[in-house]
Structure formats: structure tokens, C-alpha cells
Chain A
Amino acid sequence: MFVNSLLFLYFFLPFTLLFYYFATEKLKNIVLLAASFIFYAWGGVSYVSVLILSTLVNWLLGLGSEKSKSLSGKKYWLIVAVLFNILPLLIFKYTGFFKDNLNFLISIFGMKPMVIRTFALPLGISFYSFKAITYHVSVNRKETAVQHNYADLALYISFFPSVLAGPIDRYRNFLPQLHDRAPNPDQFASGIRRFSIGLGKKVLIANSLAVITDDLFGGLASNLNAPLAWLGIICYSLQIYYDFSGYTDMAIGVAKMFGIELMENFNFPYISKSIKEFWTRWHISLSTWLRDYLFLPIAYSTSRKLIKERYFTIRVDQIIYVIATSVTFLVCGFWHGAAWNFIVWGLIHGFLLILEQLGLGRLLKKSFKPVRHVYAIFFLMISWVFFRTETLVDAFHYIGVLFGFGGKPINWQLVLEYLNTGLVLTLILAIIGATTIFSNIVDWFKRRYEDKTMLIRIFTVNIYEVSSIILVLAILVASTLFMVAGTNNPFIYFKF
């Protein structure tokens, strides 16, 4: 089930809330766990067994590690736990990739391709596997105790708002909320607001931009020219942000309705002035996960092996940074998808981060602010090409067209045809919404009337509250309209 579906909004969510708030304190987590399994089962009943098995084995592995007294024993349990979570991910997600590449290699030597079975990817496996790993690492680092209650651990791993697309919440953040939460009306109302905004971001903006993106990236061979290619990548850059951050907002909003605070995942990433800053604002739960569980351990272990201060005149800390960043972003790219495109995307980000660390960052800091923004946005957009296209050849072709190589002659009328009222309005809204303009206006509004008399303050606060309620309702109604329209599948009787 998707959180941006009618069934979720008008059936699953209200009934889950109803059961949850009528359940006794002891049963609340059970209600949430049952709801999580049902929610997950909606995406594939067979795969819910994979999720249940995963939660069960992770729980047992945690108990096993507790039994072990020695540090090396605990480390052994941690390795087993990490492998247990990584292996299914490798099998389900990457078998096809390895098979295709292996077959390509052996075909060079004239050998017959190998037949290896591939599997359908269980939804959200990349997310819940990483959550399970955070649990084991937390326990191993003694940040938290081993969880004895299966339902509690299962709820952390499979909590329905975040099981499909994150945020990859840390166990240490989630644990205190498992039994000590007291949802209040303010938190609930804030959850509704957050959910509605997320729904609007996904349904009204991301889905509308997707139409243009699909058309322009899908029509690579036909009529793509430089301005259209730029329009396509601008739309895609905004689409991916609104899609993903919209989903995160919905997840955070729904969790709030149950009194649970999930970690933030986005913080206006497109206002970044460097790639380094971008990764502090984009998919924060993943970037911090990679930092804590990959980058820092690699950097630490490398630093122990490199004992000199310099190697080939390069400072050792820079070498460590290069190694740790390269590996981290290789993994980051591969985590996003089992294709060379994603690997290249990750490596581009890694490469830019290394450049910034080695001197470009210092240069940027001295530069005019808009130049820094342009630098960041430019390279982000170029890297998104690899994310969106299906093959590296397509990606390089698209980038070529962006710069006037290999595209069709420029036809401004065609560009204007794409830029209809709907797209222009959506783009304006999307670009403004991706900046802090709206939140700055709200802050200014609040500050402006802070020192006014009580009467004016009450009046202005009410204006703000009422407009915010109207906006939220309007978004909900408009999103519902778009979702209902999505259920219509006209059937053209002469399908090609």
C-alpha cells in the first residue's frame, strides 16, 4: 500500500487511528505492528514473510549477542547480523546486475550466458535492512540495550509510515518512543499538516512534473534539443525532490499522529552552496547512516594502517578522506539502484566531495554566493541525469544534448508548447517551495507581530492559523481529486 493512495488515506489510516486510540496502552504497539504488517502485505503478501523472518532473526541475533560475554564474541554476532541483513539485499536487489555483467564478461570470451535466477525485489528492503543494522550497531556500541520484546523490535524495523521509503530512523531515537509517548492534539494537528503537505508535494507537484520528465527522457531519440533537455533535467531535479521529500513528510506526519517523531530527512537541499552542504540537507537519514556506519569506520581503520604523516607529499588525512569518501559514495550509488548509472551517480558525488575537500571548497567559500549556488545546482542536475536515464549511453547522450551536441535543432515553439500554463505554475511553485522563501515569510510574519499588543498578536496568529488550515484542506481536497483521477484507466480497445 502506498501512503498516497485513497485506500490509505480514507480507510487504512482512519481505522488504524481508531484501533490505536481505543487500544489499551499495552496493546498500542501491537496495533501498530499489525497495521505495519498489513500495510506491507499490501505491496506483496508473499514478501511480508521475508519481513517477518527478517525481524524475527534480527531479534534472535540481538539476544544471541547478549549471551556473548567477550568483545570478540559480540563482534562476531555483529558481523553475522550485518551479513544476515546485507545478504538478502544482495540476493534480491543485485543478482540481476551481477548476472548481466558476468554474462557480458563471459560473452567476450565466447562463452554461453549463465542462467541465474533473479528475484522480485521486496518493497523497502533497502530501508528496513539498514534499520536492522542500526539496531545491531547500537547494541554493539552499547548505545542501547538488547531488545527482549520481539514486537518492539519488529515495530521499529517495520513501522508502516517509514518501512517503504524511510526515513531510516536510528534505533536509539525510536527506542525511547516505544513505550514513552503521549500524543497530544498539537502533535496530531502538526502530523495532519505535515502529511497533507507531503501528499500535495507528491501528488500535485512531483506527479505533474513526472509527465514532462517521462516525455523528455523517454523521447531521447526523437525531438530532444538543448532547451528541452534543460527543461527535462530541471523538472526531474524538482520531481525527485518533491517525490521523495513528499513521501518523507507523509511518513513523518503519519508517525506524529501516533505520537512518534521520526528523524528529518530533507532540509531544503537545493539551497546548498556545495555538494558537501547538499549531503547535509538531502536524504539526511541515509547520509548520516553512511557517515556513521561506513565512512567513519573506514576512515578509522584506514588511519590505523597509515602511519606516516604524508604519502607522495599528500597529507595522510586527505588520503583517508579520499578512500573513505570513494567507498562510501560507491556504496551510496549502488544502494540507490543496481545499475552502472547509479554507481556513476554516486562516484560523481564522491569525486566532487573529494575536490571540495582538497581545495575547491576553500575556493568556493571565497566566491560570490550566487556562484556557489550555481556550482552546486549545476553539478547536482548533471548528476541527476545518471539517476534518471536507464543506461550510461543514454546518460552521456543526454548530457551531450544539454550542451548542444547530438540534439535536434532548437525549436522555441516546441519549447513553448511544453511550457503550458500548468507546467509554468507548477515550476514556479516547485522552485519557490524548494527554497526557504515560504518559511522565511512565516517567520517574518511571526516576528513582525511579536512585540505588538496582545490583541493584534491574537488576531494575526488567528489569521495565520486559519489560512494554514484552509491551505491544508485545499491540498487534501486537490490531492484527493488527483488521486481519484488516477483510478480512471480508460481502455483503448485497439491496444498496440
Chain B
Amino acid sequence: MVLFFSLISVVVLNDQIHFTSPPKVLAVERRNISSEPQLDINHLDLYPEAYSRYYDDYFPYRLNLINFYAGNVCLKFFHRSPYPDKVDLGRDGWLYFAEEGAMYKGTYKLEDAHIKSIVAELHKRALYYHEKGIKFYLAIPPLKQEIYPEHLPLKYSKLPGLNVTEKVIDLIRKDPLVNFIDLKSALINAKKHGRLYFKTDNHWNSLGGYYGYRSIIERIKKDFPSIIPLDTNDFTMKMKVINGANIAQFINISEYIKDESTDHTVKVERASYEKPKGYKAPAALLHPQEFEVVRRVKNPSLPTIVIVRDSYFYGLMPYIIENFKKSITLYDSRTYEIYDEVTRNEKPDLVLYMIYEPRLVCLIGLNRW
């Protein structure tokens, strides 16, 4: 009885005098710590949940306990994912987002009308640029599951038929205005050169980015022959061991699992930053400071490119910016809009839309973050 009350008292006392470190929420929760809700007689139904959330947030040592549970209890002792609905533990230390798995397996379904709407949205962009004499390229960085299915848990099995992405690509290939660049085939072919994706992150690594770049730039070069693609002799590669990356961080096991990162440095960097023009950014940006990034290479024979992109661009950024006189990259709220003001002012020779596979649905406003 004494021990029981001692245990409870520690928590109860902490509620009153907060002797533990100030409470905070994990970065991956992407929210502010709850504040104590006020009792509002008109909205009584909301109070219990709000208070429970507030109480849970202020539980002593919450973050330490969560980390201990995820790393020591689940990963090390039980060898299972602490949040199996969020992350799947693959084989050989590979991690996969479970929700992305639904896209890969084909259990995430869309009606044909939605598929056609996505294709129509892409066509709308292609037509807009076509009418202005600008070449439109589309690259879809594939899911890690598509490139490295051999590390997936065995329970993953693709449903028969095409998944959402495959259906979209099937239709978009038939659109003459869209220059579709097949990154998936290129990356599968490049697997023999080394690991292309992080084990503990859903992004490709620098090497994956490089082969993605090669695939893109070789396609663009057909239309702009002045471009000289970089090859492996043009950069140095340095391997380092890092703590678990974004998927590991997501389930609080970052410090319990290691990964490798390859830093690629272009030997002769010609691209330099230029002050952005300050184009009007859409609302609710995740990374407002990165909405518009401009780089320039002093070579007038090269074309100008506008890249509407997401986080997968980081992997190929060091290479691609070297191939254009001016590159304007726009990182929006994953809506991959048409930026008319940018087009009118910059008059690019080409645009590249890089849309990470699961975010194709964002084009029609489905389940945006």
C-alpha cells in the first residue's frame, strides 16, 4: 500500500509543483504542448478530451518514458515496432512508413474519377507551360518500398492490379504534353552501384539522388543538348554513420538504430546562390524560408529551369543546379501549383515538377497535411 501510494504520489505531487523538467512534446508530434483547458459551459463535451490530453502532456518524464519504451522495450527487447500502425520494421534494419506501405500494396484505393482528376491536374500544368512554349517534365520519386521490396517485412504483399501511382503513370505516359521521366526503372537499374535509399528514412540518399539526377538530366539533355551531365568523377563521396533518420525519429528509436549517410561534394562548384525575388508564397508553408531558392551558373548557353519540388529534391540538388544558367526552386505546401508570376518574370526554358509518389493525391486536395 505504501509503495503504491508512493508511486502515485510522485506523479500527483509533480502535477502540483512540477519538480521534473518542464514538459514538452516530441518534434514528431508536430504540435504545441497542450494548455490547460478552460471549462466552457457551452462546449462541455470538448472538455474531458482536452483535459486528458493536457494531463498526458504534463505527465512526468513523458518523453524519457516514450523513448525508453520505443528503444529498449520494443526495439531491443521485443524486436517489434513501437507503433506498428505507423512504422513497419523491415529486414536487416530497414524501416518503412506503414501508411506509405498502403500505397505500395494497393490497399490505399482511389476511385477512377480521382485518378483521372490527378491526371487532369498534371495535364493542366503541362498545357499551361506548353502554351507558353516551355517544356514540362514530370519526375515521380518512387517509394522506398518500390526500389527495395526485398527488405520489406514478408507480410507485405501487393494486391493484384495496379496501385494508385501505377494507374496515374499509366495514363500520364499517354499525355504528349507531359515529358514523364521514369525514375523507378532507373533506380532499380542503379541498385548495383550501391544503396540508394536510407535504411531508416523514406528518402533516397545522395547516391539515389545522383541516379535520380542522371535519369532526369539525360532526358532533359535530349531537348537541351548544351547540358553536360555530371558523372561520378565530378564529386567526392564520404560515408558516415548517423543515428536513425526520419522514420526512426518518427517512432523515437533514432538513438537506438544506426544508418549510413553518403555526403557527396561536387568537386568544382559553379552554382552560387542568388537573392530570391520574393515571389508571393502560398499560405501554410511547412518551410517558408525554402519556398523560393535561386541559384545561378555563369554560363549563358545553359537553359533556365523552374523546379516545383518537395523534399526529394535535396538528394539531387547539388548536381542539378550545376546544369542550368538559373534554377529557381519552389517548395510549396505540396500542392505543386502553377506559379504564373514566376513563369512570367523568369521565362524559364523548362519546368520540372518533382512529386513524391504518395503526394500525387495532394494535387486533388486529398488528405493534405
Q: Which residues of A contact B (CB under 8 A)?
A: 1, 5-7, 9-11, 13-15, 41-46, 185, 188-189, 192, 196, 211, 215, 219, 221-223, 408, 411, 413-414, 417-418, 420-423, 425, 469, 472-473, 476-477, 480-482, 484-485, 487-496
Asked if residues A7 and B56 are in contact (CB atoms below 8 Å), the reply is yes
- Residue B47 interfacial (CB < 8 Å): yes
CB pair A211 B84 closer than 8 Å:
yes
> Are B334 and A494 neighbours in the complex by a CB distance under 8 Å?
yes
Closest to A1 in B: B48
Q: Known contacts A491-B29, A496-B108; is A46 also within 8 Å of B155 by CB?
A: no
- Once the chains bind, are A422 and B78 in contact (CB under 8 Å)? yes
A residues within 8 A CB of B26?
Answer: 488, 490
Contact B252 A488 (CB under 8 A): yes
B155 near A414 (CB under 8 angstroms)? yes
Chain A residues near B358 (CB-CB < 8 A): 494, 496
| Contact pick for A490, options B15, B69, B250, CB 8 Å | B250
Contacting A at CB under 8 A, from B318-369, are 334, 356, 358-359, 361-362, 366-367, 369
Chosen A-B contacts, 20 in total, with CB atoms closer than 8 Å, are A6-B56, A6-B59, A9-B8, A10-B59, A42-B48, A211-B80, A222-B155, A222-B159, A223-B155, A417-B153, A472-B4, A477-B7, A484-B65, A485-B82, A488-B29, A490-B86, A492-B97, A492-B250, A494-B358, A494-B369
Q: Give Cα distance in the complex from A7 to B50, angstroms.
A: 12
Question: Chain A: which residue is nearest B70 at the CB level?
Answer: A485
B interface, CB within 8 angstroms of A: 1, 3-5, 7-9, 11-12, 15, 26, 28-31, 44-45, 47-48, 51-52, 55-57, 59, 62, 65-66, 68-70, 73-74, 77-80, 82-84, 86, 97, 99, 102-103, 105, 107-108, 153-155, 157, 159, 250-252, 286, 334, 356, 358-359, 361-362, 366-367, 369
- Given known A-B contacts A494-B359, A496-B103, A215 and B78 have beta carbons under 8 A apart: no
CB-nearest residue of chain B to A422: B78
What is the minimal beta-carbon distance from B6 to any residue of chain A, in angstroms?
A: 10
A185-B1 in contact (CB<8A) = yes
* A11 cross-chain contacts in B, Cβ below 8 A: 12, 15, 55
Chain A nearest CB from B56 CB (Å) reads 4
- What residues of B have a CB within 8 angstroms of the CB of A46 in the complex? 44-45
- Our pick among B8, B68, B78 for the contact of A10 (Cβ within 8 Å) is B8
Give the CA-CA distance A45 to B159 in the complex, in Å: 44
B77/A219 in contact, CB under 8 A: no
CA distance A493 to B57 in the complex (A): 20
Report the minimum CB–CB distance from A249 to chain B (whole Å). Answer: 15
Chain A neighbourhood of B5, CB < 8 A: 14
Nearest CB in chain A to that of B98: its residue: A492
Residue with the highest number of chain B CB atoms closer than 10 Å, among A5, A7, A46: A7
Give Cα distance in the complex from A472 to B359, angstroms: 48
| Given A44-B45, A46-B44, A222-B105, 10 other A-B residues pairs in contact with their CB atoms under 8 A | A1-B52, A11-B12, A11-B55, A422-B77, A423-B80, A484-B66, A490-B26, A490-B86, A496-B108, A496-B361
For the complex, give the distance between the alpha carbons of A484 and B105 in Å.
Answer: 32
The docked-state distance in angstroms from the alpha carbon of A223 to that of B155 is 7
Identify the closest chain B residue to A43 (Cβ): B48
Min CB distance B60 to A, Å, is 9
Known contacts A7-B56, A491-B30, A495-B99: A41-B66 contact under CB 8 Å: no
Residues of B within 8 A of A476 (CB): 4, 7
Q: Which residues of B contact A421 (CB under 8 A)?
A: 77-79
Bound CA–CA A422/B75 (angstroms): 10
**Docked-complex contact B62 and A484, CB < 8 angstroms:** yes
**Does A192 lie within 8 Å of B1, measured CB to CB?**
yes
Contact A490 B29 (CB under 8 A): yes
**Residue of B whose beta carbon sits closest to that of A10:** B11
Separation in Å of the A35 CB from the closest CB of chain B? 14
Docked Cα-Cα span, A425 to B77, in Å, equals: 11
Cα distance A491–B250 in the bound complex, in angstroms: 8
Given A222-B107, A494-B369, A495-B369, is A188 in contact with B1 using a C-beta cutoff of 8 Å? yes
C-alpha spacing A493/B367, complex, angstroms: 10
Residue of B nearest to A408 (CB): B157
Residue in A closest to B45 when the chains form the complex, CB atoms:
A45
User: Which 7 pairs across A and B sit closest by C-beta, in order of nearness?
Assistant: A422-B78, A493-B369, A485-B69, A487-B56, A10-B11, A45-B44, A490-B28
Instruction: Give the residues in chain B near A482, CB-CB below 8 Å.
Output: 69
Q: Which residues of B contact A487 (CB under 8 A)?
A: 56-57, 59, 62, 66
Contact across chains for B369 and A42 when beta carbons are under 8 A apart? no
Contacts of B66 in A (CB 8 A): 484-485, 487-488
* Nearest CB of chain B from residue A224's CB, rounded to whole Å: 10
In the complex, what distance in Å separates the CA atom of A45 from the CA atom of B47?
9
Q: Which residue of A lies closest to B9 (CB)?
A: A14
Q: Across the interface, which residues of B come within 8 angstroms of A42, CB to CB? A: 48, 52
Does the CB pair A223–B99 fall under 8 Å? no
When chains A and B are docked, how far (Å) is the Cα of A490 from the Cα of B47? 23
Does the CB pair A481–B65 fall under 8 Å? yes
Measured CB to CB, the nearest residue on chain A to B57 is A487
- Take A221-B159, A487-B59 as given contacts and tell me if A10 and B12 are in contact as well, using a CB distance cutoff of 8 Å: yes
Among B31, B82, B83, B362, chain A packs the most CB atoms within 10 A around the CB of: B83
| Chain A residues closer than 8 Å to B334, beta-carbon distance | 494
- Kindly list chain B residues whose C-beta atoms are within 8 Å of the C-beta of A408: 157
Task: Give the distance in Å from the alpha carbon of A408 to the alpha carbon of B369 in the complex.
Answer: 36
Q: In the complex, what's the smallest C-beta–C-beta distance from B290 to chain A, in angstroms?
A: 15
For B82, list chain A residues within 8 Å (CB): 485
Asked if B78 contacts A14 (CB within 8 A), the reply is no
CB distance from A41 to the nearest CB of B (A): 7
The distance in angstroms between the C-alpha atoms of A234 and B192, with both chains bound, is: 43
Give the chain B neighbours of A425 by CB distance below 8 A. Answer: 78
Residue of B nearest to A18 (CB): B12
Tell me whether B79 and A223 are in contact (CB under 8 A). Answer: no
Q: How far is the CA of A480 from the CA of B366 in the complex (A)?
A: 37
Once the chains bind, are A45 and B359 in contact (CB under 8 Å)? no
The contact of A484 among B12, B59, B79, by CB within 8 Å, is: B59
A491 neighbours in B (Cβ, 8 Å): 28-31
Q: Which residues of A contact B369 (CB under 8 A)?
A: 493-495
A140-B34 Cα distance, complex, nearest whole Å: 52
A41 touching B48 by the CB < 8 A rule? yes
- Assess A492 versus B99: contact at CB under 8 Å? Given A215-B84, A417-B154, A485-B65: yes
Given contacts A420-B78, A484-B65, contact A489 B29 (CB under 8 A): yes
Which residue in chain B gives the minimum CB-CB distance to A48?
B44
Known contacts being A7-B52, A44-B45, A476-B7, is A481 close to B1, with CB within 8 Å? Answer: no
B177 to chain A, nearest CB (A): 27
Chain A residues contacting B361 (CB-CB under 8 Å) are 496
Q: Is the CB of A219 within 8 A of B155?
A: yes
Please tell me if the beta carbons of A490 and B3 are within 8 angstroms of each other in the complex.
no
Chain B's nearest CB lies how many Å from the CB of A492? 6
- Choose among A417, A469, A493 the residue that contacts B155 (Cβ–Cβ < 8 A): A417
Closest chain B residue to A9, Cβ basis: B8
**Residues in B whose Cβ lies below 8 Å from that of A418:** 155
* Assembled-state Cα–Cα distance A42/B82 (Å): 28
List of B residues within 8 angstroms of A423 by Cβ: 80
Q: How far is the CA of A2 from the CA of B56 in the complex (A)?
A: 13
Given contacts A6-B55, A422-B77, A496-B367, contact A484 B153 (CB under 8 A): no
